Amino acid sequence: MTTLNPQYITDKNGKKTAVILKIKEYQKILEELEDIEDVTLYDDAKKEDDGTRIELRKYLSNRKKKND
């Protein structure tokens, strides 16, 4: 997990209204979110997998027919 050092912008009442992060921290958060999304997509695909497989040759042949 990323260690963050946020700075806050406050309104006149002292309520936090925004956060400032270093670019590297922000980029690391985005990378971690992408990783989580990848894992989620993989898990969803595994749930939908019914075990059916086709040979690459057959897939390419079917694909070519659809594009013609």
Q: What is the pLDDT of residue 38?
A: 97
Q: For the segment 49-59, what is each residue's pLDDT rounded down to a tens digit?
A: 998 999 999 99
pLDDT digits (tens, 9 = 90+) for 9-31: 999 999 999 999 999 999 999 99
C-alpha distances out from residue 2 to 12, 38, 59, Å: 30, 18, 42
Q: Which helix (H) or strand (E) element contains residue 46?
A: helix 23-48
What 3-state DSSP class applies to 42? helix
Per the domain annotation, does 12 fall within a domain? Answer: yes
pTM above 0.85, yes or no: no
Q: Is residue 56 part of a domain?
A: yes
| Contact indicator for 6, 21 with CB cutoff of 8 Å | yes
Residue type, 50: D
User: Is residue 28 in some structural domain?
Assistant: yes
Residue 55 lies in a domain: yes
Look at residue 44 and give its three-state secondary structure.
Answer: helix
The reply to whether 38 falls in a domain is yes
pLDDT of residue 68: 75
Tens digits of residue pLDDT in 32-41:
999 999 999 9
Provide the residue range defining the domain that includes 63.
7-67
Residue 1 lies in a domain: no
Split into its structural domains, the chain has a count of: 1
